[in-house]
Homo-oligomer: A and B are copies of this chain.
Amino acid sequence: MKRSERLVAMTNYLLDHPQVLVPLPYFTKEFDAAKSSISEDLDIVNDMFQKQGIGFLETVQGAAGGIKYIPKYSDKNSKAFIDHICNRIEDPDRLLPGGYLYMSDLLGDPETIRNIGKIFATAFAQKGVEYIVTVATKGIPLAYATAQIMNVPVIIVRRDPKVTEGSTVSINYVSGSSKKIQTMVLAKRSLPEGSNVCIIDDFMKAGGTINGMKSLLAEFNANVSGIGVLAEAEDEDEDRVVDDYISLIQIKDVDIKNRKIEVLKGNYFQN
């Protein structure tokens, strides 16, 4: 196989297997090429991935070594994308009764979801995350997009137990905004004891839901090493009960009377 052909095949393989350690013999065998040729190929791929702002190839030395594609999206691309999303959310047509904002179109768009996943995956890349945890329903696409890039499984917390989940652990928690008692359940066999997890959700106000998830995860002795929300908004009546999180977007003000929405980049971009 020619170098040009190998490069197409390798790029595809590495993009499709993020965070997976690929031993060099895999490539030499697959492409019937010398180790030195493969090494040169990988240098070219690594160089281009960095130039394009999509990550880099990590070399792991030794007998059990190989190459690993670490997705890492450039700050420049991330900021440009979030600026664009902020603009889109400021559209007054999104206003719903009660000052809520319609965002299902954004959460249904595959490219938007993929880009959000890239940012979260970059933010939590160094945390040794073993599972992404989210709660039904709107956080699910974001959790999957992040999990695809981090190459870890997704665990979905539900509001109601289902017969297809087997035995579950459930907790009651107080929703921060509405002060209602709510329930969350997680299938017992879905998460091994003591796992290192990251929580992803679409929206956070006072943080009651995220706090509920933390309590539920404590029942599994899980270590929550990261919390990421797409959008956060302030709650006038309630102090936030979660503080160690990152947000990509901040809904600063919703002026129903004048139909004006003010949206800023989230705390992830403000350090």
Contact = CB atoms under 8 A, between A and B. Distances in A.
Interface of A: 3-5, 7-9, 11-12, 15-16, 44-45, 47-49, 51-52, 54, 96-98, 100-105, 108-111, 113-114, 136-138, 140-141, 144-145, 147-148, 151-156, 158, 163-166, 187, 189-190
A43 B157 CA distance: 46
B190 A153 contact: no
Given A15-B15, A105-B153, A141-B140, A114 B148 contact: yes
Nearest to A190: B104
A180 to B, nearest CB: 13
A49 B8 contact: yes
A96 B102 CA distance: 39
Contact of A110 (B15, B144, B190): B144
B163 A96 contact: yes
Nearest to A111: B151
A81 to B, nearest CB: 13
Nearest to A187: B104
Contacts of A156: 104, 108, 137
Contacts of A12: 11, 15, 48-49, 52, 54
A100 B164 contact: yes
Number of copies: 2
Interface SS of A by simple majority: helix
A144 B141 contact: yes
A77 B146 CA distance: 25
B52 A9 contact: yes
30 contacts: A3-B4, A4-B4, A4-B7, A4-B44, A7-B8, A8-B11, A8-B44, A8-B45, A15-B15, A96-B164, A96-B165, A97-B166, A100-B163, A100-B164, A102-B164, A102-B165, A102-B187, A102-B189, A103-B164, A104-B156, A105-B153, A108-B156, A110-B147, A110-B154, A111-B151, A113-B144, A140-B144, A141-B144, A144-B144, A144-B145
Nearest to A152: B110
A158 B160 CA distance: 14
Contacts of A155: 108
- Greatest chain B CB density within 10 A among A48, A110, A166 is at A110
A204 to B, nearest CB: 13
Contacts of A138: 164
A48 B108 CA distance: 31
A51 B2 CA distance: 14
Contacts of A145: 144
A15 B7 CA distance: 14
